[in-house]
Amino acid sequence: MATYVIVGAGLAGAKAAQTLREEGFDGEIVLIGAESERPYERPPLSKEYLQGRGEREKIFVHEPGWYADNDVDLRLGTKVTRIEPAHHLVRLGDGSRQPYDKLLIATGAVPRRLPGPAYYLRTVDDSEALKRRFAEGANVLIVGASWIGLETAAAARAAGCQVTVVEPEPTALNRALGPELGALFARLHASKGVNLRFGTAAAEITESGVRLSSGERLTADLVVVGIGAAPEVGLARDAGLDVGQGVLTDSSLRTSNPDVYAAGDVAEFFHPLYGRRVRVEHWANALHGGPAAARSMLGQEVVYDRLPYFYTDQYELGMEFSGDIEGHDEVVYRGDPESMEFIAYWLRDRRVIAGMNVNVWDVVDDIQELIKSGVTVHPKELSSG
C-alpha cells in the first residue's frame, strides 16, 4: 500500500489530504503539523476572530472527526526535522522516521521578525494574545502598512485602541496596489482615526515603543510587526531540492525531485500565464494549490494556472483582488473610488493585468477572464461598458 506524507497541516496540506481521498486514493495518508491545533484558516485571525466576532470552531478546515473518518493519520505537535529523498523518508522531532512513496511540502511561511519585544500575527494563539491586549484598550503601534498591518489596525480601532502605523514606503500597500490605490486605503484608515506615519522605518523596538529612523521616539503599550512572511524552505533546501524564493516546482507543483511536491505559501511554481515562476502568499492559493498537488501526486495531468487572488475586509470596505500589478502603466476606474464602490483595473499596453473590486460583488470571474484573455481594451470601455 502506498504512503503519501504531507508536511505542514495548514490549509494547503489539509485540502491536499481531502483531495487524495476524494480522488479515490486508498493508501496511507500521513498529515504532519508542528502546531497543536488541527488545520485552520488564517484570514479570520486578523479580521472577525481578532475582533471577537468569529466563533473558534469556524476557523477550522474540517470537523474534528473528519481525519479519523477519512483515515487520515493527523499528527499534530510534530515537527519534521529532515527530508531524505534518497531514502524516501522524513525524520520527525521525536527521533522517529516516516517513510513515504510521495511527499508534499506544505510548510507555509513564518512572519519576518525584527529585534525587540513585539507581537506577530500568524497563529490562532497570536490572534488570541492580541485580542486580549486590544481589550485592555492599549495604545498600539503597528510596524508595516500591508494587509496584516492594516487589518490589525482596523481590529484595534474597533476595540477602541489608539493606533499608530509606521511604514517606510510613501503610502499604504504601495507595492501591492501602487500609490493611487494604496493612498485610498491610507485615507480610509486616517478617517477612522489611525495615525499613519509614512516614509519612516522602525529603527528599534523597545519595551516603551519604537525609535524611528528619524530618531523620533513613539511610545506604545504594545508593538505589532507585520512586515511580510518568509517561506519555510529550510527542509527542502537541506534535502537538496531546488529552492529560489520558495520551493521551486513546475506547473504541476512537482519539485526537482519527482516524488516530492510543494503547494501553498511555500511553493514557487511555474505559472504558464506569466511564463515564469511565482510565489503566492494568499488563502486561495493554498485552497486550490493543495488539491492540485494532490491530483498531481496521483499521476493526473495537472497544469496549475490559477490567477493570484486575494481578499480583505477593513471597516466597511470589502474587496477582492485578482492578478499582479507588476509592470502596469495605467489604472482605470469603473465607478468613483471615493464612493468606496468601484472596480480598478491595472493595464499594461492596454491589456488588463490586474483588477480589484471594492464593495462590488460577483465580478471576479469576469475580471479574471479579462486578464487571462490578454485582449487589448480601450480604457473608456472599461470605465463605462
Ligand X SMILES: Cc1cc2nc3c(=O)[nH]c(=O)nc-3n(C[C@H](O)[C@H](O)[C@H](O)COP(=O)(O)OP(=O)(O)OC[C@H]3O[C@@H](n4cnc5c(N)ncnc54)[C@H](O)[C@@H]3O)c2cc1C
Is there binding between residue 312 and ligand X (CB under 6 A)?
yes
How many other C-beta atoms lie within 10 A of the C-beta of residue 38? 18
* Residues 298, 300, 301, 305, CA torsion sign: negative
CB-based burial label for 55 (10 Å; 0-12, 13-18, 19+): exposed
CB nearer to ligand X: give 194 or 218.
194
CB nearer to ligand X: give 7 or 166.
7
In the numeric block, the cell 486508498 is attached to: 26
CB nearer to ligand X: give 151 or 167.
151
Q: Select from 175-183, 199-207, 243-251, 305-313 the region that touches ligand X (CB under 6 A).
A: 305-313
Instruction: Tell me the C-alpha distance between 345 and 332, whole Å.
Output: 5
Is there binding between residue 310 and ligand X (CB under 6 A)?
yes
Q: Select from 156-164, 242-250, 296-304, 307-315 the region that touches ligand X (CB under 6 A).
A: 307-315
Instruction: Tell me the C-alpha distance between 13 and 7, whole Å.
Output: 7
Cβ at position 44, least distance to ligand X in Å: 8
Residue from the set 61, 109, 227, 302 that interacts with ligand X by CB under 6 A: 109
Do the beta carbons of residue 229 and residue 122 sit within 8 Å?
A: yes
C-alpha cell at 124: 490562532
Residue from the set 38, 62, 102, 122 that interacts with ligand X by CB under 6 A: 122
Q: Select from 4-12, 183-191, 197-205, 241-249 the region that touches ligand X (CB under 6 A).
A: 4-12
Site for ligand X in 167-226 (CB under 6 A): none
Residue from the set 5, 6, 8, 212 that interacts with ligand X by CB under 6 A: 8
Is there binding between residue 148 and ligand X (CB under 6 A)?
yes
Residue from the set 18, 146, 224, 232 that interacts with ligand X by CB under 6 A: 232
Is there binding between residue 311 and ligand X (CB under 6 A)?
yes
Q: What are the C-alpha distances in Å from 165 to residues 51, 144, 184?
A: 18, 7, 15
Residue from the set 121, 142, 188, 325 that interacts with ligand X by CB under 6 A: 121
Residue from the set 4, 5, 6, 12 that interacts with ligand X by CB under 6 A: 12
Number of H-type helices and E-type strands within the chain: 9, 25
Do the beta carbons of residue 39 and residue 8 sit within 8 Å?
A: no
Do the beta carbons of residue 293 and residue 260 sit within 8 Å?
A: no
3-state secondary structure of 236: helix
One-character DSSP codes across 136-170: TT-EEEEE--SHHHHHHHHHHHHTT-EEEEEESSS
Residue from the set 4, 5, 6, 10 that interacts with ligand X by CB under 6 A: 10
Q: Binding mask 49-88 vs ligand X (x if CB under 6 A, - otherwise)?
A: ------------------------------xx--------
Contacts 24+ apart (CB under 8 A), 271-278: 271/304, 271/305, 272/303, 272/305, 273/305, 273/307, 273/372, 274/324, 277/244, 277/245, 277/248, 277/249, 278/308, 278/324
Do the beta carbons of residue 315 and residue 192 sit within 8 Å?
A: yes
Q: Select from 107-115, 174-182, 339-347, 351-359 the region that touches ligand X (CB under 6 A).
A: 107-115
Cβ at position 203, least distance to ligand X in Å: 25
CB nearer to ligand X: give 88 or 211.
88
Residue from the set 156, 243, 286, 344 that interacts with ligand X by CB under 6 A: 286
Cβ at position 34, least distance to ligand X in Å: 4
Cβ at position 70, least distance to ligand X in Å: 18
How many other C-beta atoms lie within 10 A of the C-beta of residue 164? 21
Residues that bind ligand X (CB under 6 A): 7-13, 32-35, 42-43, 45-46, 79-80, 106-109, 121-122, 148, 232, 235, 264-265, 281-284, 286, 310-312
